[in-house]
Amino acid sequence: MSGHWSTSLLRSLCLGSLAGAWLGAGLGCGSSQPAASGPQPSPTAVAGSPGQPGSELASLREEVARLKRLVPSQSHAMQDVGYHFTNLWFAGQSRNWPLAGFYLAETRSHLKWAVRIIPVRRTQAGEVDLEGIREGFDGELLAAVQQTIEAKDAARFASAYKLALKGCYACHKASEKPFLRPQVPLQPEQRIINFDPRATWPD
């Protein structure tokens, strides 16, 4: 990864990509049916009857509202990103390259999840395209980390990792959260995993 591309990406992340306005989607009912002959059911019976447009729409709205309550916050997903990215550092420092590759893949996966929750963030400066930022971050900075893992190059790994941290912070600043300042991890998040690639127990 050339210094030119790294500088360009970091500058892009700092400024934040502005996205277009959200597109809304609506639900509508079909045309009204002619009144049936004979005694008509009460309004209460119609609203509660299965198969009626009104009751189906109400049920759908209730289900959508319920599912929204089950979706975790973006901060929850980002906690997982921090967890895996922290362990990635110690796996690389221990030269446990298969484990480093695992934690890098998990970082990428959970970062995608976090951005799916909020793909565009509204800020005072406008709308920030988090998905666009993620794609650039993954395609350049995390790809550079992957290259050092594949090359089993501990020195280049440390440099690529620190540059990725700068990319993380650039996104935080673009999202108007400069107080979320990352650092090189001081201790691993995972205590039960042995980072030593020469470990033999349990066998």
At 112 the pLDDT is 97
Question: What tokens does 29 get?
Answer: 């009912």
Is the confidence at residue 29, as pLDDT, over 70? Answer: no
CA distance 60 to 138: 36
Instruction: Indicate the pLDDT class of residue 36, thresholds 50, 70 and 90.
Output: very low
What is the predicted pLDDT for the residue at 145?
98
Residue 123 clears pLDDT 60, i.e. is over it: yes
In CATH, the number for domain 73-174 is: 1.20.120.290
CA–CA separation, 15 and 83 (whole Å) = 26
Binned at pLDDT 50, 70 and 90, residue 9 comes out as low
Cα separation, 50 vs 184, whole angstroms: 58
Distance, CA of 175 to CA of 156 (rounded, Å) = 29
Angle separating helix axes 3-15 and 154-174, nearest 10 degrees: 20
| pLDDT tens for each residue of 69-112 | 877 889 899 999 999 999 999 999 999 999 999 999 999 999 99
The pTM of this model reads 0.73
Rounded percentage of the chain residues whose pLDDT exceeds 90: 65
Over the stretch 139-171, which tens digit does the pLDDT of each residue have?
A: 999 999 999 999 999 999 999 999 999 999 999
Burial class (CB in 10 A: 0-12, 13-18, 19+), 61: exposed
Spell out the alpha helix ranges (H) of 118-180.
Answer: 130-136, 143-151, 154-174
Cα–Cα distance, 163 to 143 (Å, whole number): 12
- Under a CB-based contact definition with an 8 Å cutoff, are residues 80 and 88 in contact? no
Domain boundaries, the chain: 73-174
